[in-house]
Structure 1
Amino acid sequence: MKQSQSLEILISWDYDGVTSLVLLYKYLKNFTDEVHYVCNERSEGHSINNLISAVSEQTRLFIAVDSSSNDLESMKELTDRGIDCLVIDHHAVTKNNPYITLVNPQQEGCMYPNKNACGGLLVFKVCKVIDDYMDTHYTNQLSDLPGFSLMADMMSMMEMENRYYAKLSLKGLRHAGLKALFTAMNFDLNNLSATDFLYGVSPAVTAATRADNIQLAIDFLMCDEDNPEIKVLIKDLIRLNERRKTVQAEALIRLKPLVNENDKVVIVFDPTLGKGMNGLVAQELSRTYNRPAIVLGNGDNEVTYAGSFRGLEDFSMLDMLGDCKNVIYTGGHDGAGGLQLLKKDIEVLRQELNEKLRDFVADNSLYYDLEFDINEVNENLINYLSEFYRITGNKFKQGYFLIKGLFTSDKKLMGKSNNTVKIDCDRLQLMKFKTDEKFYKNVPVFSEIEAIGTLNINVWKVYRPKFKVTKTLQLFIEDYKEVNQTK
């Protein structure tokens, strides 16, 4: 009896990687049932070495998505077993890998013009090529997924192809699970923006991978059609996301006193966070101190540190760390990735980065795009601005506006962690997120202020006892200043 030949798919564990898996798996299932997947949890890292034993003897084609361009030893082992290896990836190619067929726009000599593509988009493009070859149209059913991958992986939104697919995701969403999650998080399906996804749905899905529950994220994204399981999965995702928020907020409070503000790069150590949270905390520290940040934990052995970095758009933090002699490993993207070094070298790294960035000055300025008086702000204006800034992200930032003539009448500290402040200003409600009680206490009441932030309309629907829609004009503020009344 002839054994069936199967196909294995390997993925990485971020939103882009999980979406790449789901997209490719769903597509290939149109042709064969002999499709299977294997994956690491986030704490196990990107390497596929520990997954080799999970690849069955019947496998004839192994596909790695959003990872593995530079995995030589593991791909050689699979090739020696008679397995063909295809890698669809967008990360930097640092090694010549003769054991794979590589689809990666970063490889030398690649003529594909979009160097800012992500794994999900590249998988979709490979599937479109198969469609052309097979005279099928199965990719049409999956066209709303690549744009979310691009946004989640913070790929450049100045790239026209990326903007096209981002718009296709937001305007043409069909995925039942994503629709239900957007709705559960109180977003308007008819008016979705990149911000809704980046600060709402995307963190909720990746919260599962950060909790080493990648199967939950996969099961959720597999639900592209309505079924009873969706509600249960969404409940679990939201629960894990709330836990993620709590851990992140507590870590920031704990780590801020350890920051040396004289350093050009924030470097802190916290062995309790784990690989799932290091990057998020590094991102918050980078925003807080307007400089690159590195959050380290214990490495694979007792003599090493491993962690995550977050950089700025001004320069490539990935390249800079790659040039540091004492860094054992670094990988990822220009502004976000991981690193490993010997514990004894942490002060050497600090000094080397301070030297490399000796001319760098952290910019603490708060910039805005347009200025309005409060009397100019209305629903039509906000809708117009929202449409212009619907597709934002890396290289195309959300618009910030200075609003003048605000008079504070009340304030309230909100949220489970008391880290949200609401300020009433007549026709405009000001919201400050991820803050603290100190900020709340300093907000003046019955005073005129000016504030900078993003404009938004909060739509609240009440169904009982009578259907009613309430719209509140809001400003999500970055900062404010009190107007001096003295002459």
Structure 2
Amino acid sequence: PDPSEVQLLSSALNLPPTLATLLVQRGYATPGEAKSFLRPALDSLTDPFLIKDMDKAVALVAKAVRSGTPILVHGDYDVDGQCSAALLTRVLELAGAKVVPFVPHRLRDGYDFGPAGLKVAAESGASLVLTCDCGVSATEAVQHAKDMGLAVVVTDHHLTRELPPADAIVNPRREDCDSPSKELCGAGVAFKLVQALCGELGLPATVPFHFLDLVALATVADIVPLVGENRTLVRFGLKMMEQSRWAGVRALLDVTGLVGRPVRAGQVGYVLAPRLNAAGRIGESMEGLKLLLTDDQRTAHDLAVSLDTINARRQEIDERILAEAVDEIEQSVDLGRYHGLVLARDGWHPGVIGIVASRVVERYHRPTVLIGLEGDEGKGSGRSIPGFNLHEALGQCSDHLTRWGGHKAAAGLTVRRDRVEPFRDAFNQVAVSRIPPDELVLTQRVDIIGSVRSLNDDLERLMRHLEPCGPGNPAPVLGVRRANARQPTTVGANHIKFTLDDGSDTIPAIGFGWADRLDEGWWRGQIDVALQLSRNEWRGTSTLQARVVHIKSAD
């Protein structure tokens, strides 16, 4: 960045030059912009009524609450959908409503509001179906609900080609919606609905803020940009999570060893969220929702332990599918020809292939779709790279797909077995037309280059001012050049551990998932390392460590 901008910002706000440099790099060059970023405020949240149809949704929900008839709150089987459903259920019950919470089973019921949700609505005598984190593509199911005499309010954040015939559709990503809150996740949209409902239902305006820990959990898990309103919601939600009032959240913190410690976005994404997601991926998704809704600590503990066990099994499945996917790419795929990857195989669990697709993208830097085949059909999950809109790309291949939907960075699909090959070719053609060969080369952003001696506790504390970090606001990456890896060992399934030494000092380093990505004897020569500073918590002791982001030979 411009040194003069850094100096001006550093002087104006009395900031250390390193922090000022990072702020200017991220586009927060003026004192006002930097202050708003460093100290987000809840009173800066946007007016929920800026979202189209919010007034209609409030009127319909309030009418159902006052009538005393049941309301079906229909979520999704991922973390976002579970948190959204828990948030709306608890608030509506607080207002005196009769609520039937429901999330579908991934394999048995499939994604979105569909036959399973319609059945629950009919059996419960619901007068209103209120979806969260789903519904915007459920045209057929919404029409069926209308034919049954039900009112339908959809709250969602996914992209769609056409809107369903619902009574109200609260989705800031609608083309005709003027709200600036375009990047909210499903729980973020549910939070805005709750904000709007408080006045109509006679609830204190502070009620929504009691659920910010659920909103933070969902926002981080759904990998939406942690900027603007999302940053504010997560910043305050993480603080609340440390002393959550919800038994389920406390139980998750307990089984993962995070009780009594400040919770960071990375711990939500890599520790807490996978356990809730595991229920929706390979278990019973309702278990995750039950965990978030129970007020009994013993029940919460038992459910959290169960999810922890399911997550361990999920990790084993992940590793097997990843190994098979990498082997197929290395043996059968011409990476010079294929700019987009589509891999399909019998036996791949559709509940975990999204995670594996992300890891394939990390390794090969190409948009990737993995498909688990069973019978005549396959269910797929895709992940993308920056600059490649996966949702649009699937739209161009839709003639080969039975169903598809999602975002620019992640999507899901259903495809017939006999259409997999045509889809693979069509997807690659789109990728070739949009991704130049030079953009397929993985490049690593480095914010600051320094010596190992500069990697100290003070610098790590300084970096925390930028949190919560994630998409749109990545954790700072530091670079060390021409260093040596001392005493390298392989730990766990596929990780490397070593001491990083550049002659100025040493620091323990760990590279998750790097053991099979390095040539034999990689440590014999000098290396350039991109890393992030983190804390290694072990048996009550906290030590500084370097988490490897990338390694390459210095020669």
Is the CA contact (8 Å cut-off) linking 1:427 and 1:473 kept in structure 2?
no
Alignment partner of 1:309 is 2:382: yes
Look up the match of 2:159. Answer: 92
Alignment partner of 1:72 is 2:139: yes
Deviation at 1:4, TM superposition (A): 6.3
Alignment partner of 1:326 is 2:400: yes
CA offsets, 1:161-213, max 9 Å, x none? 11100101112222443344335434475433211111111112101111131
| Structure 2 counterparts to residues 45-84 of structure 1, below 5 A | 45-47=110-112, 48-55=114-121, 56=123, 58-84=125-151
Percent identical residues: 21
2:293 pairs with 184, 200, 222, which one?
Answer: 222
Please give the secondary structure, in 2, of the residue aligned with 1:396: coil
| Structure 2 counterparts to residues 373-452 of structure 1, below 5 A | 373-388=451-466, 390-404=467-481, 406-415=483-492, 417=493, 419-425=494-500, 427-436=506-515, 439=518, 442-444=521-523, 449-452=527-530
Q: Distance in 1 between matches of 2:547 and 2:321?
A: 23
Look up the match of 1:466. Answer: none
Q: Which amino acid in structure 2 is aligned with residue 143 of structure 1?
A: L
Alignment partner of 1:344 is 2:422: no
Q: Distance in 2 between matches of 1:349 and 1:78?
A: 33
Is the CA contact (8 Å cut-off) linking 2:367 and 2:388 kept in structure 1?
no
Look up the match of 1:37. Answer: 101
Q: Which moved more, 1:258-267 or 1:435-444?
A: 435-444
Q: Distance in 1 between matches of 2:404 and 2:385?
A: 16
Q: Normalising to structure 2: TM-score of the pair?
A: 0.78
Is the CA contact (8 Å cut-off) linking 2:485 and 2:499 kept in structure 1?
yes
**CA 1:29/1:424 → structure 2, altered by over 3 Å: closer, same or farther?**
same
Is the CA contact (8 Å cut-off) linking 2:68 and 2:97 kept in structure 1?
no
Is the CA contact (8 Å cut-off) linking 2:487 and 2:499 kept in structure 1?
yes
Q: Which amino acid in structure 1 is aligned with residue 111 of structure 2?
A: H
Q: Which amino acid in structure 2 is aligned with residue 49 of structure 1?
A: P
**CA 1:274/1:341 → structure 2, altered by over 3 Å: closer, same or farther?**
same
Q: Which moved more, 1:206-215 or 1:393-402?
A: 393-402
Look up the match of 1:5. Answer: 69
**Consecutive unaligned residues in structure 1, runs of 5 or more:** 463-469
Q: Normalising to structure 1: TM-score of the pair?
A: 0.89
Is the CA contact (8 Å cut-off) linking 1:374 and 1:404 kept in structure 2?
no
Q: Distance in 1 between matches of 2:221 and 2:283?
A: 18
CA offsets, 1:298-335, max 9 Å, x none? 26x62x43311111121211111101232332201111
CA offsets, 1:266-299, max 9 Å, x none? 1111221222012111111111100100111226
Look up the match of 1:238. Answer: 308
CA offsets, 1:216-252, max 9 Å, x none? 21122224x5712333222222222221111111111
**CA 1:438/1:70 → structure 2, altered by over 3 Å: closer, same or farther?**
closer
**CA 1:298/1:405 → structure 2, altered by over 3 Å: closer, same or farther?**
closer
Structure having the higher helix fraction is: 2
Q: Distance in 1 between matches of 2:351 and 2:446?
A: 33
Structure having the higher strand fraction is: 1
Q: Distance in 2 between matches of 1:40 and 1:243?
A: 21
Deviation at 1:443, TM superposition (A): 4.5
Q: Which amino acid in structure 2 is aligned with residue 114 of structure 1?
A: S
Q: Distance in 2 between matches of 1:298 and 1:405?
A: 46
Deviation at 1:92, TM superposition (A): 1.6
RMSD: 2.4
**Consecutive unaligned residues in structure 2, runs of 5 or more:** 1-66
Q: Distance in 2 between matches of 1:438 and 1:352?
A: 30
Q: Distance in 1 between matches of 2:469 and 2:185?
A: 16
Look up the match of 1:465. Answer: none
Look up the match of 1:457. Answer: 535
Q: Distance in 2 between matches of 1:4 and 1:329?
A: 37
Is the CA contact (8 Å cut-off) linking 1:374 and 1:405 kept in structure 2?
no
**CA 1:188/1:424 → structure 2, altered by over 3 Å: closer, same or farther?**
farther
Is the CA contact (8 Å cut-off) linking 2:486 and 2:523 kept in structure 1?
no
Q: Distance in 2 between matches of 1:411 and 1:394?
A: 31
